[in-house]
Amino acid sequence: MPAHLTLPQLAALTTLTLGALTWLTTVARTLRRPRHPRGPTRYTTTPLRHRADGLPALPHQRRTGPAAETVRLTPAEEHAFATLVRQLAEEH
């Protein structure tokens, strides 16, 4: 026991050290455990797979966005759009 610490200080230091080690162990185990240890359920909408570049405890982000929207143009609108593109191309 260090000479400059009183018994209550040493007890507090020991308690804080043990608490910090417990917290670090819990965080490390949480980040390393699989998200669904029993496999996917019927409510799962995305396939579950382990990515080497990510953390298995965090949910994966979807890479798809909303469906692309398309609009059919009339021949007059197509001609007007082509004219506009030509005008803009001539300016630069």
In a domain? residue 31: yes
In a domain? residue 92: no
Q: What is the mean pLDDT of residues 78-91?
A: 93
8 Å CB contact between 84 and 78: no
Residue 4 belongs to domain spanning: 1-36
In a domain? residue 84: no
In a domain? residue 54: no
Q: Rounded to the nearest 5°, which phi and psi values hold at 61? A: -85, 140
In a domain? residue 41: no
In a domain? residue 19: yes
User: pLDDT tens for residues 12-58?
Assistant: 999 999 999 999 999 998 888 776 666 666 555 555 555 556 666 77
pTM of the model: 0.37
In a domain? residue 67: no
Q: How many domains does the chain have?
A: 1
